[in-house]
Every structure is written in C-alpha cells, then in structure tokens.
C-alpha cells in the first residue's frame, strides 16, 4: 500500500511517515502544492494525506487534481484549521475524511485503514484476527462462527484496536475516538476502562484468549 503525505511541517511529516511505515505502508512525502501535483500526476497511490495550509497554496487544489487523474485514490485532509467550511468543501471535492491537527497517530492510522477497506474491497472485506472475524460493513463480530453480542461503542473500540495492533493506545486517544469532543467530559477514562473491561470479558469468554494488555496504567495494547 502506498501513501502520499503532503505536509509542509517536516517534523510532523516524518513522524507520520515513521508511524505509517511501522504499519507496513510505503510512504512518500511532499511539502508543497507544486511537488504534490507532480507526484500525483506521475505515480499512483492508494491514499493521500493532504494538509490544507501549504506554503505555496491551498491543499484543496491537490484534491481536485487527484480526483481528475486518479479518482480511486483515497483522500484524507489534515488541517490545523478546524473550519466547517473547509471540511464541507473538502468533502464536496471528493475527500473521504477530515482530521484536525493535532490528531492522534493511532486515530489517523485507523481512519486510513477504514478508508482503504472501503475503497479497495468495497467494504465487504472481512477482518480476521486470530479467532475473531469482523464484518466492518455489517458491524458484526464473529468468534468461531458465533455472533458476539456487542454494543456499538464496543464495536468501534474493537475496530480501533484491531486497526492498531501491537500499538499502545492511550486512554486519551481511545476516549477521543469514541466520543470526539465529549472526550474531556470528566470520568471519560473510567468509561474507557469499563468498555474495555466488558469487551475483554466477552472475548475471553468465547475465545479463552486475553487480547488486551494494560500498559503501565497509561493505555492498552491489543495483541
């Protein structure tokens, strides 16, 4: 899978690439609209991450450009401006998702995965992890062909973990993934804990395997 990261902030770009390469993607980077346009026209990518505020122009022009030559490429806009207009415009132009800086890398990764799933496999792909089989489109989880009764939030949580296997997911990033703006409502970490506890118990009951590992009280890893 090839991903083009268009971000003028070098260090941020490096970090994103380093995280994504850890996930097994091949990444290329561009820092300006000009470089981006060149790459978009020359090569084919599975996904493009594009910052809106670039030194020589607006990242949205790249979205237009890409839609012209490679409409099948997934597009995620990353922007420092939490502006509804940009978001609406970006999505109207054909972008698939919109993330506001600063974001959690795990969140970005999970969005990319979900995007690629939808784009590449028409959303019908099953995700199989060990004894767990997930149908993302139907929002169903099977353990050894048996449907696991699972709540909406537990499903989101499981998918988030499965998108970031072996990674430490901090309580903050989990809360934000589940509740967005409401993540800072106090006790949301207790909610994260309680959701994970439930999910852990349900999976353990069916599979006999402990998938979640607590990391020094700061987060969890799915293994």
Partner 1 sequence: MKLQNKINIRFLLVTLLVFTVAGVIFYFALDRVIDHNIKGILKSRKTNIILYLQHNKTDSILLGSPDRTIFIRQIAKTEDHSFISDTLAYDEREKELIPFRKMVFSTSVDNNYFEVTILQSLLESEDLQGIIFYFMAILFSLIFLALFFLNRWLSDKAWRPFFKSLSLLKSWKISENRQISFDQTGISEFDQLNRTLEEMIQKMQTDFVNLKEFTENASHEIQTPLAIIKSKLELLLNDNELSGLQHKQLHDAFESVIRMSKLNEALLLLSKIENRQFIEKCDIDFCMLIHSRLEYLEELFALKQIEISVQLNVPVIISIHPMLADILINNLLNNTLKHNFNHGKIIISSGINEITFSNTGKPLTIDPSKLFRRFVKNNNSEESTGLGLAIADEICRANHLRLNYTYLNDLHSFILSC
Of the candidate residues 28, 65, 137, 172, the single one contacting partner 1 (CB under 8 A): 172
Of the candidate residues 24, 42, 71, 84, the single one contacting partner 1 (CB under 8 A): 84
**Contact between 185 and partner 1 (CB under 8 A)?**
yes
Site for partner 1 in 93-112 (CB under 8 A): 101-106
**Contact between 165 and partner 1 (CB under 8 A)?**
no
**Contact between 89 and partner 1 (CB under 8 A)?**
no
Give the other-Cβ count within 10 Å of 126's Cβ: 13
Contacts by 206-215, CB closer than 8 A, 24 or more apart: 206/131, 206/143, 206/144, 206/146, 206/148, 207/130, 207/131, 207/132, 207/143, 207/144, 209/130, 209/131, 211/130, 211/132, 211/161, 212/161, 215/168
Task: Give 188's Cβ-side CA count (13 Å radius).
Answer: 17
**Contact between 155 and partner 1 (CB under 8 A)?**
no
Site for partner 1 in 14-53 (CB under 8 A): 15-16, 18-19, 22
**Contact between 200 and partner 1 (CB under 8 A)?**
no
- Pick the piece of the chain touching partner 1 (CB under 8 A) from 37-45, 62-70, 76-84, 202-210: 76-84
Q: How far is CA 65 from CA 1, 52, 86, 90, 216, in A?
A: 21, 14, 17, 13, 46
Site residue total, partner 1 (CB under 8 A)? 42
The smaller minimum CB distance to partner 1, of residues 40 and 158, is found at 158
- Pick the piece of the chain touching partner 1 (CB under 8 A) from 66-74, 121-129, 190-198, 206-214: 190-198
- Pick the piece of the chain touching partner 1 (CB under 8 A) from 23-31, 61-69, 81-89, 139-147: 81-89
Contact 29, 5 (CB under 8 A): yes
Q: How far is CA 180 from CA 12, 98, 139, 163, 217, in A?
A: 22, 13, 20, 18, 22
The smaller minimum CB distance to partner 1, of residues 45 and 220, is found at 220
What single string gives the DSSP state of each residue in 3-30? EEEE-S-HHHHHHHHHHHHHTT-EEEEE
Residues engaged in binding partner 1 (CB under 8 A): 9, 11-12, 15-16, 18-19, 22, 80-82, 84, 101-106, 151, 153, 167-168, 170, 172-173, 179, 181-182, 184-188, 190-191, 194-195, 215-219
């Amino acid at each position: 899978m090839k991903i083009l990261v268009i971000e003028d902030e070098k260090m941020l770009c490096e970090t994103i690439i380093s995280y994504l390469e850890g996930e097994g993607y091949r990444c290329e980077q561009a820092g300006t609209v000009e470089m981006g346009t060149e790459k978009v026209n020359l090569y084919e990518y599975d996904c493009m991450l594009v910052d809106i505020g670039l030194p020589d122009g607006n990242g949205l022009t790249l979205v237009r450009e890409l839609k012209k030559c490679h409409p099948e490429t997934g597009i995620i806009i990353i922007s420092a401006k939490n502006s509804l207009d940009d978001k609406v415009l970006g999505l109207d132009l054909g972008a698939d998702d919109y993330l506001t800086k600063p974001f959690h890398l795990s969140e970005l990764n999970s969005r990319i995965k979900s995007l690629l799933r939808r784009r590449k496999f028409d959303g019908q792909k099953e995700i199989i992890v060990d004894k767990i089989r997930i149908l993302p489109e139907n929002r169903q989880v099977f353990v050894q062909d048996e449907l696991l009764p699972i709540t909406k939030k537990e499903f989101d949580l499981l998918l988030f973990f499965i998108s970031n296997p072996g990674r430490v997911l901090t309580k903050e990033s989990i809360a934000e993934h589940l509740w967005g703006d409401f993540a800072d409502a106090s006790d949301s970490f207790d909610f994260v804990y309680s959701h994970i506890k439930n999910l852990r118990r349900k999976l353990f009951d069916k599979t006999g395997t402990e998938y979640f590992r607590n990391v020094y009280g700061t987060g969890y890893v799915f293994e």
